[in-house]
Amino acid sequence: MSPWQLRAALLLQQVDRVEVLALRCSGYAVQVIAADGRAQALLPTAGGRLWPSLSALKVRLRGCGVRRILLLERQTHDEIIGRPSLHAADPGMPMPL
């Protein structure tokens, strides 16, 4: 999905939520979840699969009309430093833009 396709889907109210997945030391991946449950990746315009910075990504999403994202992490800080992992899945952190 491109940024202009995201903007059009938002105008047509076809988007349920936008999830940003923080990948350790790699960047950020964006999943656009449609109202019917389908998920599509939002790819950077410069190519590649990941967005390098959260601040630039937030500016781009705000420009597309996104007003709130859900920030997710695959690994928590505790898991990275060797503490036991949580038994429940991370619900994510809602962030207004």
> In this predicted model, what pLDDT tens digit does every residue of 51-97 receive, in sequence order?
888 998 999 999 999 999 999 987 655 555 566 665 566 678 888 88
Task: Return the pLDDT at 43.
Answer: 85
Which residue from 43, 52, 54 is spatially nearest to 1, judged by alpha carbons?
A: 43
Q: How many helices (H) and strands (E) does the chain have?
A: 3, 5
Q: Are 64 and 11 in contact (CB under 8 A)?
A: no
- Mean pLDDT of the region 30-36: 95
**Higher-scoring residue by pLDDT: 78, 9:** 9
**Higher-scoring residue by pLDDT: 5, 45:** 5
pLDDT surpassing 80 at residue 26: yes
Pairing, β 68-73 against β 15-23: parallel
- Mean pLDDT of the region 1-7: 92
Q: Where are the alpha helices (DSSP H) in the chain?
A: 3-11, 54-64, 77-80
Is residue 95 within a helix (H) or strand (E), and if so which, with residue range?
Answer: strand 93-96
